[in-house]
Structure 1
Amino acid sequence: MAGGKQSPRQKMINLMYLVFLAMMAMSMGKEVLAAFGLMNEKLIDANQRATEQNQKAYQSLALKAAEQAKQYGEAKEKTDALKVKANELYAYVDDLKSKMTADVEDKNDYQVMDKSDFLDSYFFEGGTITAKGKEFVSKIDEFRKSALEILGESDIASVVKSRFDTDPVTNREGLQLNWLNYNYEGFPLIASLTKLTQIQADVKATESDALSTLLRGELESAVSMTNYDAMVVFDKNAYYPGEQLSGKIVLGKNDPNLTAEKVVINGKDWPEDKIKAGQVILDGAAGGVGDRSIEGSFFFKENDSLVEIPIKGGYSVIPRPNEAVISADKMNVVYRGLSNPITISMPGVPSNKVSASAKGLRRVKGDSYMMTPGGGNEVTINVTGTLPDGKKVTSRKKFRVKDIPPAVGMVRGQYGTVPMPKSSAGKTRIAAGLPDFLFDLKLNVSSFKIKVPGQVAIPCSGTTLNARAKKALQKARRGDDVTIFDIKASVSGSNYKIKKVLPVVINITN
């Protein structure tokens, strides 16, 4: 206003002008207080809706974690931990707001909430921050640190830091002020109340962001193309030369976090320890040669029901391809008078689709046969196999037929020249054997002859010396070789007689 001497009229005009400005300022202040009150109401309403939406998201995540713990379990653990911290800060701020308005009769009359007395004494005293003020800042800092630890280096980390930043603030004059002083000292009650409600809104927004970010991360991981494998699927797993391939290449999802609730294969519930993350282990015997089918279902839990995914496939069992077929052409021999075991098979053809024929050949089981040759020096085995497409293939193999080789006479299980006392020689049994022969045969001796030096040869029946032979043996002297020869033997269980048995010699030791 202008200085100098003023008339009474001018003084009156000036006074009225001051009163007018004061009235305008008072009117605008009331409007601002009301605006803060309306903003506070909207934030409270938004917080209620956010609480309901977050609760639904928590429930949805809990259900997903129950269905697929490996995929969503970690996200649920993190959000559950964040929820505890969020509820603690939200309740703490709610309690502080209740204390601030405890003496306000009409909680909706925002125009009377123009004083700053409560927080000015609650947070500050004598130019310093009170224990209550430090506790308030500590609660915010604790939530910020916990949220960042739980969320890690996620997209919303910087947003969380900004929302709950309590670092000192530089004002318009360039002065650095404590965060608590800058935001809450000297402000009307309704303004501070609205700021506290905003903190609660930030808490709810952080919960919502965390739920969205963690779930989005799991979903992105689940649909990532890195989880897919290119799989070659043939209509059958074995082909013959000249056959047309039939199959396809598909993209299959290999999710290490996806575990089935139950798997049934060929009518059998698969063991739980064979149901792994992202896969089911198939093991056990492959079965005999031929085509095998695999049918069943995956069962995955989804909401309150089990979703069934059918399994259909198969494989073929063929003789081991890593076993070389080696034959010695000169050793294709079967022995007359014996049941010679022979294996007959065709690669890729089941045994029930293979037939073989030859004189003296009979099937025992599967691809196992027995050949008992008769006369002649050769026998030919003819084999016919029926392929899966119905075509027949034939093969033949010649074998030489040989007699059982000469046996050797034996005493005490030994052959050649066997040293023995004269007293023992008279009691020993004469036997015959086939050392190093392919077949483990038992031979029965029916007769033999004994020749003592200086004595005539004496025939004996059975396997022991008769009285005449024992008497001649008594005349043997130390160092004499007593020869057992002309041994007659046959194969046990057969009427086949060994054509020749070599002699055995007993050297008299005393």
Structure 2
Amino acid sequence: MAGGKQSPRQRMVNLMYLVFIAMLAMNMSKEVLSAFGLMKEKLSDSNTRATDKNKAAYEALALKASEQEKQYGEAKEKTDSLRVMADDFFNYIEELKTKMTAELEDKTAYESMDKSGFLDQYFFKNGKITNEANEFVGKVNDFREKSLEILGERELATVVAARFNTDDVTNKEGIKQDWLKYNYEGFPLIASLTKLTQIQSDIKTTESDALSALLEKELSAAVSMTNYDAMVVFDKNAYYPGESLSGKIVLGKNDPNLTAEKVVINGKDWPQDKIKAGQVLLDGPAGSVGDKSLTGSFFFKENDSLVEIPIKGGYSVIPKPNEAVISADKMNVVYRGLSNPITISMPGVPSNKVSASAAGLRRIKGDSYMMTPGSGNEVSINVTGDLAGSKITSRKKFRIKDIPPAVGMVRGQYGTVPMPKASLGNISVAAGLPDFLFDLKLNVSSFKVKVPGQVAVPCSGTRMSARAKQAIQKARRGDVVTIFDIKASVSGSSYKIKKVLPVSVEITN
């Protein structure tokens, strides 16, 4: 290898040395080509597994979106768009790789793929960038930009931008070089195939990362404490002074994107327009007075079945107040011999949970009672209410009074009634209670008639007797005839009025 005149032997040794170095270089090149081939195979296998994994993730997301469109619909729409772009770009590269190996009999003979002729002509024909090259770079740029648009302002966007960056590259000599030429001009065929397979791997990885990133928001929201409400649940609807509170405070998830597939309440399918995101609207009549139960189920679609969540609760319907409760303490009176209507209720307690007892008291319906007092001057009514298992008692005292004195009446009038003498003998004597609270009908059984200057004449029933009429004939104009000692009883009852005031008739002619 040194200068100067060399012997034939020395020249032979030098030639053999050069051949040896060339053989070493050839062997090293084959090892590198084989390494690229093995890397390509590993990337291809990885891409196949990633395709299957991404497919399962797309299907799972589609199922979730069909179950809860509001929660997963947006993520599905974006990933579907990305999937179409990814498949288009991946298949484009696969077609390009097929063209590159079309003339090779053995697609795995990597050691023979040491030429760069195909891409040098396909991308850089006659030293110029071809339309095919521009299409390839455009595909890379288009996939990058659309992926960034779908991902939005996420950390992953920076990673994706770097994966598919086609900016000029500064080589090791510090010279800027076109991205396409830097990566594909003059490279062995197997190296370019491996690089293209790496781009396919980046596509699959971007799909997988996007699926995770787009679902991350929903998954974070699903476990976020901001979606929970504190709800106070008492064991009963109302409490009285001195009672102990009984209940609990629970955390309930309020998810505005979670809508039930269907809801059943008290055996009835709830209308779809009442099933809202994160809630179910209750409406309709509360029902009659009393305790009501509220049972049923939520049904949520999960995979191929419906998950049932039981509903259990209740409420009480109490009488609606329509007036103030005002009582005159001195007027708590019931009358002997009469059926006295009484309303008995307890605020906050339905009438079917209220019971009352007293001598002569009977229930008519709901909170309506009837009191028929007996002997004595007082009667006490005891009331018991049941409020969610708690007993409340109350007692009220009433005075018992006799029916007040009635008044004698003729022609519907009382006091002194002017009348002709001829008409007096034909009248009917009655008794009434003009200012009494009860509208009572009184039956007269007897009375007496006193004409001035004549002896008082007793009469039976309500009409004048013959003897009474004879006495009336002796009356003169201006005389006042008195009808007194009237005996009367309450119609429909054996109770007799203790006193009936007399009625007088002034003779007019």
Establish whether TM, by shorter chain, passes 0.5: yes
Partner of 1:269: 269
Equivalent residue, structure 2, for 1:224:
224
SS of the residue corresponding to residue 315 of structure 2 reads strand
Q: Residue 148 of structure 1 aligns with which residue?
A: 148
The aligned counterpart of 2:201 is 201
Deviation at 1:245, TM superposition (A): 2.0
Find the counterpart in structure 2 of residue 3 from structure 1. Answer: 3
Q: How does 1:341-380 map to 2 (within 5 A)?
A: 344-354=344-354, 365-367=365-367
Number of aligned residues: 408
Contact 1:354 1:383 survives alignment (8 Å): no
Coordinate RMSD, CA, aligned: 3.9
| Counterpart-to-counterpart distance in 2, 1:391 and 1:25 | 104
Provide Cα deviations, 1:427-459, integer angstroms capped at 9, x if missing partner. Answer: xxxxxxxxxxxx9x9xxxxxxxxxxxxxxxxxx
**1:237 aligned partner:** 237
CA displacement at 1:397 relative to structure 2: 8.2
Contact 1:144 1:164 in 2 (8 A): yes
CA contact (8 A) 1:54 1:208 kept: yes
Q: Which runs of 5+ in 2 are unaligned?
A: 406-436, 440-509
**Deviation per residue, 1:250-294 (Å, 9 max, x gap):** 221112221111111111111111111111112223334433221
Corresponding residue SS for 1:105: coil
By how many angstroms is 1:23 displaced?
A: 1.4
Structure 2 distance, partners of 1:372, 1:141, is 99
Confirm or deny: 8 A CA contact 2:289 2:352 kept in the other structure: no
Contact 2:318 2:351 in 1 (8 A): no
Q: Looking at CA atoms only, which structure, 1 or 2, has the larger radius of gyration? A: 2
Give the whole-Å Cα distance in 1 for the aligned partners of 2:177 and 2:303: 53
Deviations 1:361-390 (A, max 9, x none): 9977534679999xxxx9999572422346
CA–CA separation in structure 2 for the residues paired with 1:332 and 1:296: 51
Q: Which residue of structure 2 lines up, in the alignment, with residue 327 of structure 1?
A: 326
2:394 alignment counterpart: 394
Residue 250 of structure 2 corresponds to residue 250 of structure 1 = yes
- The 3 A distance-change label for structure 1 pair 402 and 198 is farther
Q: TM-score, normalised by structure 2?
A: 0.70
Asked if 2 retains the 8 angstrom alpha-carbon contact of 1:289 and 1:348, the reply is no
What are the within-5 Å matches in structure 2 for residues 320-469 of structure 1? 325=324, 327=326, 329=328, 344-354=344-354, 365-367=365-367, 382=381, 384-388=383-387, 389=389, 391-396=391-396
Q: In the TM superposition, what whole-angstrom CA distance separates every residue of 1:174-218 from its partner, at most 9, and x where no partner exists?
A: 111111011000000110011001111111111111122223332
- TM-aligned CA deviation for residue 355 of structure 1: 5.3
Rounded Cα–Cα distance in structure 2 between residues aligned with 1:177 and 1:63: 48
For structure 1, which runs of at least 5 residues remain unmatched after alignment?
404-438, 442-510
Secondary structure of 1:87's aligned partner: helix
Question: What is the aligned partner in structure 2 of residue 56 from structure 1?
Answer: 56
- Asked whether the 8 Å contact 1:299–1:309 carries over to 2, the reply is yes
Provide the residue aligned with 1:298 in structure 2.
298
The whole-number CA distance in structure 2 between the counterparts of 1:381 and 1:275 is 53
- Give the match for residue 184 of structure 1: 184
Query: In the alignment, residue 172 of structure 1 is paired with which amino acid?
Result: K
1:62 and 1:331, CA in 2 relative to 1: closer, same or farther beyond 3 A? farther
> 2: CA distance between counterparts of 1:369 and 1:332?
18
What do residues 466-505 of structure 1 show as CA deviations (whole Å, max 9, x unaligned)? xxxxxxxxxxxxxxxxxxxxxxxxxxxxxxxxxxxxxxxx
Distance change in 2, residues 1:123/1:380 (3 Å): farther
Alignment of structure 1 residues 79-158 onto 2, 5 Å? 79-158=79-158
Q: Does the C-alpha gap of structure 1 residues 69 and 402 become closer, same or farther in structure 2, counting only changes over 3 Å?
A: farther
Q: TM-score, normalised by structure 1?
A: 0.70
Identity of aligned residues (%): 69
CA distance in 1: counterparts of 2:354 and 2:404, whole angstroms: 27
The 1:253–1:379 alpha-carbon spacing in structure 2 relative to 1, beyond 3 Å, is: same
CA–CA distance in 1 between the matches of 2:320 and 2:153?
A: 54
Q: Aligned partner of 1:325: which letter?
A: A
Task: Confirm or deny that 1:212 pairs with 2:212.
Answer: yes
Q: Cα offset for 1:81?
A: 0.8
Tell whether the 8 Å contact from 2:346 to 2:385 is kept in structure 1 after alignment.
Answer: no
SS in structure 1 at match of 2:248? strand
